[in-house]
Amino acid sequence: MSTIFVDGILKGRVVFVTGGGTGITGGVARALAEAGANVALVSRSLEHLEPAAKAINEARVRSLSVSQGNSAENPSFGEAFAITADVRKPEDIEKAIAATVDRFGKIDIVVNGAAGNFLCKAEELSPNGFGTVVDIDLKGTFNVCRAAFDQLKQNRGQILNISATLHYLGTPMQLHVSAAKAGVDALTRNLAVEWGRYGIRVNAIAPGPIGDTEGMKRLVPEPIKEKLKQRIPLGRFGLIEDIENAAVFLCSDAANYINGAVLVVDGGHWLAANRLI
């Protein structure tokens, strides 16, 4: 595995990552571990979390055998462990936060990646369909930030929310997620202001369409994939690695004065999305 960052730039940090077993946020968790952080992977299903934690821990062992300057006691690749919790249940999250502190001693960084999505016309969306997505994406993000606050305050930590660009324009069949992610952006900016005074940085990444992810499978039917790709100024779908790199940067000391930012990582897609030519 190779990284474009200096070895161990997040060494010593502890990260609590919701949605950290799969897809984009699974990649982010692995990249943060590769940068040296210990990571707690949190979601509903151990079937998602355990293979992801195992892959990180195996890569850690491999990095020990190839690295020169890192002893077994002081490796540059972080460790992972899996905890089941539903972000909709504050008591689950409080237990997961406590389990992470028990295991790794503290929490410095929270990554809120847990989300739910499906395509549905607004007029066909049930109250529970709308509410379920808002409960996971927006209220879940709040539940995690709230439960982690004491740790983040103590450690002058940071929050990285995974948002989207859907709500920048009116995206059909995405009313529920657009509403939820608009809320996530509001929460990002508001907490940046309120918690900045404790030294807590709060930022977000807004990915565009990222190839080979559950989100793409659910949202972009195969026949329109090519058309969508042609509308992206950089001419390709995003890679999970593109989001990983943005996340490592925002979580590193290189971003020490960045607070309240929503970093769009979409190849210029949303800016061009409403243009016919």
- Is 228 one of the binding residues for ligand NAP (CB under 6 A)? no
Instruction: State how far the Cα of 268 lies from the Cα of 146, in Å rounded to an integer.
Output: 33
Give the helix ranges, DSSP H, for the chain: 23-34, 46-66, 90-104, 127-133, 140-155, 175-196, 214-219, 222-230, 240-251, 269-272
- Is 126 one of the binding residues for ligand COA (CB under 6 A)? yes
Q: Which stretch in 37-45, 96-104, 143-151, 188-196 sits in contact with ligand NAP by CB under 6 A?
A: 37-45
Instruction: Rule CB under 6 A: choose which of 2, 68, 128, 230 binds ligand COA.
Output: 128
Q: Which stretch in 72-80, 101-109, 110-118, 119-127 sits in contact with ligand NAP by CB under 6 A?
A: 110-118
Minimum distance, C-beta of residue 182 to ligand COA, in the bound complex (Å)? 15
Instruction: Rule CB under 6 A: choose which of 50, 79, 94, 214 binds ligand NAP.
Output: 214
- Is 17 one of the binding residues for ligand NAP (CB under 6 A)? no
Instruction: Rule CB under 6 A: choose which of 116, 157, 183, 267 binds ligand NAP.
Output: 116
Instruction: Rule CB under 6 A: choose which of 90, 129, 211, 260 binds ligand COA.
Output: 129
> Cα separations (Å) of 266 from 4, 54, 119, 173, 242?
20, 30, 20, 20, 9
112 three-state secondary structure: strand
What would the two tokens of residue 45 be?
A: 């299903």
- Is 54 one of the binding residues for ligand COA (CB under 6 A)? no
